[in-house]
């Protein structure tokens, strides 16, 4: 992806944190007929290999896994997207000073490339769905567990899915969150976003701009 140096993020802990917070990734593979893409919830194993590993599953009826199985040498791309917000130039101090401003969009994302493998082993699939469920049910007041469903039912569901394991060979982050604007403009962006009190994405982005725009240190 296009990466101005000011927006590039390389710290593994920051990259991994975005994946954990926004685990529904867009998995993209190349085919002779053009690229194919599917949204898939992933689990990250950060300590496997130099950059970590992603685990997921897809429906057996989904042809994407066959493309991966038939082309093991072709890398896959997975895109994880955080919150994103429109930024009006009306928030900039520069607008009042010179008028030389235009709208933009703030966002944070991680792109992962890696070697994918298809896994059809029932024990691996059972472990993957237990881990995925535990990850997303753990904080609930009454968490659902795979064991809450009948064993025969879960076994039948496992027959309908196929596992995907991606060893990460390259991971790149882009935090385009107003770092290129003067401090006064960044302060204006935070104030403008915080004023949108009914917009959860705006509230989250305000915090991101403060942190990555160096305002928390001011």
> What pTM was computed for the model?
0.93
How many whole angstroms separate alpha carbon 174 and alpha carbon 9?
Answer: 6
pLDDT at 217: 63
How many whole angstroms separate alpha carbon 108 and alpha carbon 111?
Answer: 10
How many whole angstroms separate alpha carbon 137 and alpha carbon 122?
Answer: 22
- Mean pLDDT, contiguous 10-residue spans, the chain (218 residues): 95 96 97 93 95 97 96 94 97 96 97 97 96 93 93 96 97 97 96 96 97 81
One-letter-per-residue 3-state SS of 125-182: HHHHHHHHHHHHHCCCCCCCCHHHCCHHHHHHHHCCEEEEEEEEEEEEEEEECCCCCC
- Count Cβ atoms within 10 A of the Cβ of residue 211 and give its class: 0-12 exposed, 13-18 middle, 19 or more buried: middle
pLDDT at 32: 85
Alpha-carbon torsion (198, 201, 202, 203), positive or negative:
positive
Q: Which residues pair with 55 in a beta bridge?
A: 43, 165
pLDDT at 146: 94
How many whole angstroms separate alpha carbon 57 and alpha carbon 80?
Answer: 16
pLDDT at 216: 79
> Which among 200, 199, 177, 198 has a CA at the least distance from the CA of 189?
177
pLDDT at 7: 97
Could you say which DSSP state residue 91 is in?
G
pLDDT at 33: 87
pLDDT at 125: 97
pLDDT at 218: 52
> Which among 216, 218, 214, 210 has a CA at the least distance from the CA of 191?
210
């Amino acid at each position: 992806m296009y990466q101005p140096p000011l927006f590039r993020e390389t710290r593994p802990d920051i990259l991994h944190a975005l994946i954990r917070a926004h685990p529904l990734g867009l998995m993209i593979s190349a085919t002779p007929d053009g690229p194919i893409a599917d949204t898939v919830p992933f689990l990250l194993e950060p300590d496997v290999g130099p950059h970590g590993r992603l685990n997921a599953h897809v429906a057996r009826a989904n042809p994407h896994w066959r493309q991966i199985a038939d082309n093991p040498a072709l890398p896959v791309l997975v895109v994880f997207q955080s919150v994103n917000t429109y930024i009006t130039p009306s928030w900039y101090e520069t607008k009042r000073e010179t008028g030389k401003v235009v709208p933009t969009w703030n966002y944070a994302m991680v792109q992962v490339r890696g070697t994918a493998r298809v896994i059809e082993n029932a024990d691996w699939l059972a472990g993957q769905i237990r881990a995925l469920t535990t990850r997303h049910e753990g904080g609930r007041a009454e968490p659902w567990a795979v064991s809450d469903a009948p064993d025969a039912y879960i076994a039948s569901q496992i027959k309908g899915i196929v596992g995907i394991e991606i060893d990460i060979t390259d991971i790149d982050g882009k935090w385009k969150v107003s770092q290129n604007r003067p401090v006064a403009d960044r302060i204006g962006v935070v104030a403008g976003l915080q004023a949108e009190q009914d917009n959860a994405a705006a509230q989250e982005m305000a915090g991101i701009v403060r942190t990555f725009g160096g305002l928390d240190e001011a």
